[in-house]
Chains A and B, each alone.
Chain A
Amino acid sequence: MIKDITIGQYLPGDSFIHKLDPRVKILLAFLYIILIFLINNFYGYLVVIAFTLLVVMLAKIPIKYLFNGIKGVIWLIIFTAVLNATLTPGKVIFKLFNLIPFTDKGIDLALFMSMRLILLIVGTSVLTLTTSPISLTDGIERLLNPFKKIGVPAHELAMMMTIALRFIPTLLDETDKIMKAQMARGADFDSGGIIKKAKNLIPVLVPLFISAFRRADELALAMEARCYRGGENRTRMKQLKTDKRDYIAIAAFIAFSIICIISRRWR
């Protein structure tokens, strides 16, 4: 049940995209998001969709995983689309229940916003699906390194993220176990109103917090026992390297960006 959550899931593989340097992937994903919001017409989106599909195919990600990611936020997308379509001033095209006006500009905007959100989710999903959490945080740490001089604790941030990511599956597992144990004692998590449902969660949350703190304690001890002392003078077993593959990816992305920017003029 709780296993259906796929946020931040990693799909092991050895495709071209999987093998890219995480720093390159993070930067390109970041630029990709900016590009999505620069596009202002239909043709531009065709280009982005084509490019995205190409990357998805290169990464050999089953489409199902992307749908799952979108399914999780489908209500958010519908909600923003409806708000956009009804609240944007413009020519009223029709009225739902003779009351709620849908405007032409509003519908345009709604379509664009939904498109952007979906592409945003797909793009970031590709990043997390093809990059293991460890290399992801590794990449973030290295990207933040230059900001260390102005006091950004890059290593500590990255370590916190690694640990948090590392504990997501453990805690989900634990939640599953505790829920089952309480269900075996007749607990019911599905029925009742919101208040009752929230109250029903207490038998899960209390043991979950206790176990999270216990685990945190144990982890801190284990790290200390192995002489962990933060970022100073720390070397790594696996050095991040950019190679030919990464330059190809960067070049392809630059070409893609140029087409995107030119597409702003197509009308």
Chain B
Amino acid sequence: MPVKVENLTYVYMPNTPFEKKALDNINLEIKDGEFVGLIGHTGSGKSTLIQQLNGLLKPTFGKVYIDDISITDKGISLKSIRQKVGIVFQYPEHQLFEETVYKDIAFGPTNLGLTNEEIEKRVKRAMDFVGLDYETYKDRSPFELSGGQKRRVAIAGVLAMEPKVLILDEPTAGLDPKGRDEVLKQIKRMHKEYKMTIIMVTHSMDEVAQLADRLIVLDKGKIVIEGSPREVFNQIDTLEKIGLSVPQVKYLAKKLKEKGFNINEDIITLEEAKREILRLFKERKI
């Protein structure tokens, strides 16, 4: 089990007037090669939860296991945990600092104390992962790239650590549609071709409907729904009550059904919607 969380509670600034319980008794297991979508309203505790998974925040109560090792135990090297669990934070391009793309991506592997050849190999591989051409970009300054390119450099910086589990906090926030599609495409590829375990935090229901095997819905620090996207998105009322929504096509299907069309309401992606609507057309022989 690459990731397991037991009875996890986290309190920010305990024993001050600003005390805030951000996570409340979370239990969670993530399997090898799974793609998990983490959704929840603003302030529900998503970012807090993912920071527990590589020891950036320490649980107030409860345990976190990575590869069956409890990461808060004495003598556990956090560096080795952080190598296994890579986190790409929100707006990761704000953390770029080196003169060249190469050096920035090499920062992680260098910290791991790898040899120069190994570092170069990993930088090449990481750039290939995110679809940046090595020769074209390696000597450019990261600060002169476009927003989408910057973000991909930042993601490559985490990938170069070659983590088993990759966590992405709103990887598409603030990108234009083209940048967003590119980043999503790369994430999908990492999951499909390289069998990475992925946890993605997002506000876009359409994105997780398309990509995730399983969804975890947080509200006020608690897990309220868990299941496949299809199961989760069937609970429209609960989701809307906690300030979330379901994929656009789901609303479309509902409207069509109300108008008397015999449409399968269980669709969640654009692809499925297309198929259903084409089927309807054929049945009516229009």
Contacts and interface: CB of A to CB of B under 8 A. Distances in A.
Contacts of B157: 185
Interface string B73-108: 000000100110011010010111100000000011
B173 interface: no
B278 interface: no
Interface in A110-139: none
A207 B94 contact: yes
A116 to B, nearest CB: 29
A180 B89 contact: yes
A203 to B, nearest CB: 5
Interface string A160-188: 00000000000000000110111111111
Interface string B1-27: 000000000000100010000000000
B112 A178 contact: no
Given A181-B95, A187-B107, A210-B94, 4 more contacts: A181-B92, A184-B86, A184-B89, A186-B83
B79 A186 contact: yes
B93 to A, nearest CB: 9
B96 A207 contact: yes
Interface of B: 13, 17, 51, 54, 56, 79, 82-83, 86-87, 89, 92, 94-97, 107-108, 111-112, 143, 157-158, 161
A11 interface: yes
B112 A186 contact: yes
A11 B107 contact: no
Contact of A183 (B82, B92, B97): B82
Contacts of A49: none
A211 B97 CA distance: 11
Contact of B97 (A12, A186, A188, A202): A202
B97 A187 contact: no
B56 A185 contact: no
Contacts of A211: 94
B56 A184 contact: yes
A211 B108 CA distance: 22
A203 B158 contact: no
A46 B58 CA distance: 44
A248 B17 CA distance: 29
A37 to B, nearest CB: 33
A124 B23 CA distance: 36
A184 B82 contact: yes
Contacts of B83: 186
Given A178-B95, A206-B97, A184 B17 contact: no
B111 A187 contact: yes
Interface string A1-42: 001000000011000000000000000000000000000000
Contacts of A188: 79, 111
Contacts of B97: 202-203, 206-207
Given A185-B157, A186-B79, A211-B94, A180 B107 contact: no
Interface string A200-215: 0011001100110000
A192 B82 CA distance: 19
B87 A184 contact: yes
Given A184-B87, A184-B89, A188-B79, A178 B13 contact: no
A169 to B, nearest CB: 11
B51 A185 contact: no
